[in-house]
Amino acid sequence: MKFMKLGSKPDAFQTDGGGDSRYVLSELPSDIVIHVEEARFYLHKFPLLSKSSLLQRLIIEASQNGTDQVYIHDIPGGVKTFEICAKFCYGMVVTLNAYNVVAARCAAEYLGMTEDVDKSNLVFKIEVFLNSGIFRSWKDSIIALQTTDALLPWSEQLKLAARCIDSIASKATSNPCNVVWSYTYNRKSASSDEIVEARKNSQPVPKDWWVEDLCELDVDLYKRVMVAVKSRGRITSDVVGEALKAYASRWLPECFEAATIDDDAYSMAYKHLLETIVWLLPSDKGSSCCSCRFFLKLLKVTILIGAGEMLKEELMDRVVLQLHKASISDLLIPARPPAPTTYDIQLVLTLVGRYMRRAGVTEDGIFLNNLDQEMFETDVDDESLLALSKIVDGYLAEVASDPNLSVSSFVDLATSMPDAARATHDGLYTAIDVFLKLHPNLPKAEKRKISSLMDVKKLSKEACIHAAQNDRLPLRVVVQVLFFEQLRAAAGGNPAAAAAAMAPNGGIARRLVEEEDDDEDNVGGGGGDWSKSRALPTPTPSLLKKQLGSLKLAVVPGSDEGGVDDGRRLARVSSVANQSSRLSLSSRSRRMFDRLWAGGKPPGGEVVSKSSDTSGSSQSPRSSAKPPASKSSSSSSRNRRYSVS
């Protein structure tokens, strides 16, 4: 920090015990008393008359009135600044620095300590110090600017704030290669054991070297500095975004307490801060000047303090452009009363809907070319849609545990993404499982509605293993999962071939519908709506036997039975032969298979008869079929007994 010493005489000012009275140690008694606010200065007329035009006038007026009392109530800087000016009049040593120079300059102007009264007066000396010291220093300019706020309107009339801002802006927009002054930079790639000073000496100056030092400014001064920096046209939008991000991190808390939100003073301050940051954002909304996480943080604060719809809409427009880059935790924005849910579900629905409309994507995943001219296009590709679908499914799994989340809200959020954008339905299955676990009293129709959102053909092997033994799913979903696993095994592990093999089969689907009412009365399984929308293929008993024997659900020790997110892990058994006896299907699954085998006709023309053993044992019921009379030896290999155990 630069400083300047004025005067040569030792400091002879003294203060009495109470601190309200100040006097000068001198052989001559004081002949004038100057009242500054609550303090009294016992001084001598001659030193003051030789330097200050204002004191000349006031002292003359007091003498004419027969008094030695002079009153000053509105001097900039108050008592401390007047003492600096008084010491200068006596020729005593005065030290000026970035913290007091602006106040001293305003007080000197107020007292009329100009060249018209005396050469090399205080105003002249302070101006020399400002131009040769303060405005040449990066940090001193910032400190001096901070002091101008308490000296209004004098600091504005003397253009001291503007001169500080111009000094700061000129340095911030200079070529980083020319930066030789001290600055603060503790962000980004600095490792925990790395010394910042050593890094400064070994690495070039970064483009955003000036960002952290400006974070100490008041929001109004910061706005003026950023306007000056941007007006010079030398700073890119990404550096401006980095500066705004650093400033928001400095002044916006990560979380809000209820008392803070309800306090009008805090709300107004945060609202003003948010409005300033958003106003300073680059006008090009499509630029990647700030991350989606940063915009979502601003949006969260905007909603919590009720900053207004215009500010909210502006931030939502910017979030939409990068929504596929968001994280699930960033989207967990608390809802304001009277919303019944913990998080603002409607906000996420709105963001996803706007993203899809601006991308020109229909619910079927078809890109449209007839976008509204007022809409700005986004760079949306297949990878972005896939990324957003994972985010939506993850968010859905997080909010599914909310007991106040309605079925309609769950369905709306799940269907906000087109089916083509989901390469896999594992995330959606996780959300469905969590929702069913936390809402055990759902009616059967709503359970079927929730489960129908999932396409078993897009489940991974691990998810299918878990779903096959998930008692919370409707029975028809479990049956469909098992059939698909059988077909996938028959297709050699090729999911595409298995999905193609799952064509509607009238016999099986019709059989399931006929058995629906009786099955639901006995075991509480799924309803006919699912079977009508997703017909099931004909199973092969021998392959199904192998498939059932190859499934095993691994449970993490110490975890609860239930959803995917409650500690369960899905495992594929390495040896089918060794593990086939370990799987125990639920009673309702075996009873459904009994009905299927009793009425179905497997490949080859054999009729499978239903076994009389339909008890809830751990083994599947045995079924046998009597082959028709053999016509030739070539067909004998097909005429054999089928058994499912």
The DSSP result for 365-429, as a single string, is SPBPS---TTSPP----HHHHHHHHHHHHHHHHHHTT-TT--HHHHHHHHTTS-GGG-S--HHHH
pLDDT attached to residue 421: 83
Report the pLDDT averaged over residues 433-459: 90
Angle between helices 309-321 and 345-359 (to 10 degrees): 50
pLDDT attached to residue 38: 86
Q: For residues 380 and 20, which has the higher predicted lDDT (pLDDT)?
A: 20
For the cut 80, the answer to whether the pLDDT of residue 442 exceeds it is yes
**What 3-state class would DSSP assign to 531?**
helix
pLDDT attached to residue 369: 46
* Final residue before a domain boundary, out of 92, 109, 136: 136
pLDDT attached to residue 495: 62
pLDDT attached to residue 550: 44
Phi-psi region of 593 (alpha: psi -120 to 50; beta: other; left: phi over 0): alpha
Domain assignment present for 345: no
Domain assignment present for 82: yes
- Name the residue type at position 131: N
pLDDT attached to residue 516: 45
Q: Which of 174, 249, 228, 233 is nearest to 205 (CA)?
A: 174
Report the pLDDT averaged over residues 174-181: 88
pLDDT attached to residue 540: 42
CB 115 within 8 A of CB 121: yes
Q: For residues 234 and 130, which has the higher predicted lDDT (pLDDT)?
A: 130
For the cut 90, the answer to whether the pLDDT of residue 429 exceeds it is yes
Q: Which of 600, 633, 605 is nearest to 644 (CA)?
A: 600
* Final residue before a domain boundary, out of 101, 118, 136: 136
pLDDT attached to residue 210: 94
The tally of domains found in the chain comes to 2
pLDDT tens-digit profile of 359-375? 776 555 454 544 443 44
Cα–Cα distance list, 84 to 21, 51, 57, 96, 275 (Å): 15, 13, 20, 9, 40
CB 143 within 8 A of CB 161: no
Report the pLDDT averaged over residues 383-411: 92
Domain assignment present for 361: no
pLDDT attached to residue 475: 87
Domain assignment present for 284: yes
CB 109 within 8 A of CB 122: no
Q: For residues 263 and 442, which has the higher predicted lDDT (pLDDT)?
A: 442
Confidence of residue 630 (pLDDT cuts 50, 70, 90): very low
Q: Which of 225, 133, 215 is nearest to 172 (CA)?
A: 225
Report the pLDDT averaged over residues 283-311: 86
Range of the domain at 260: 236-320
What CATH number did the domain enclosing 102 receive? Answer: 3.30.710.10
Same domain, 131 and 250: no
The C-alpha atoms of residue 500 and residue 512 are separated, in whole angstroms, by: 21
Report the pLDDT averaged over residues 333-347: 89
Q: Which of 552, 541, 608, 603 is nearest to 577 (CA)?
A: 552
pLDDT tens-digit profile of 575-618? 333 333 334 344 555 555 455 444 444 444 443 333 333 333 33
What percent of the chain has pLDDT above 90? 42
CA-atom Rg of the chain in angstroms = 40
pLDDT attached to residue 278: 93
For the cut 70, the answer to whether the pLDDT of residue 199 exceeds it is no
* Final residue before a domain boundary, out of 320, 348, 369: 320
The C-alpha atoms of residue 492 and residue 495 are separated, in whole angstroms, by: 9
pLDDT tens-digit profile of 246-266? 999 999 877 655 445 566 777
Q: Which residue has the tokens 């009049």?
A: 89
pTM: 0.73
Please report how many Cα atoms fall inside a 13 Å half-sphere around the Cα of residue 269, on the Cβ side: 13
Q: Which residue has the tokens 């996780």?
A: 430
CB 540 within 8 A of CB 612: no
Mean pLDDT over the full length of the chain: 76
For the cut 50, the answer to whether the pLDDT of residue 144 exceeds it is yes
pLDDT attached to residue 385: 87
Domain assignment present for 625: no
What percent of the chain has pLDDT above 70? 68
Confidence of residue 338 (pLDDT cuts 50, 70, 90): confident
pLDDT tens-digit profile of 454-500? 888 888 889 988 988 888 888 888 888 888 888 877 776 666 655 55
Q: Which of 80, 72, 127, 120 is nearest to 100 (CA)?
A: 80
Domain assignment present for 53: yes
pLDDT attached to residue 267: 82
pLDDT attached to residue 603: 40
Domain assignment present for 202: no
Report the pLDDT averaged over residues 10-25: 82
Report the pLDDT averaged over residues 107-113: 95
Q: For residues 504 and 494, which has the higher predicted lDDT (pLDDT)?
A: 494
Q: For residues 27 and 80, which has the higher predicted lDDT (pLDDT)?
A: 80
pLDDT attached to residue 612: 35
Domain assignment present for 569: no
For the cut 70, the answer to whether the pLDDT of residue 188 exceeds it is no
pLDDT attached to residue 498: 58
Report the pLDDT averaged over residues 406-416: 92
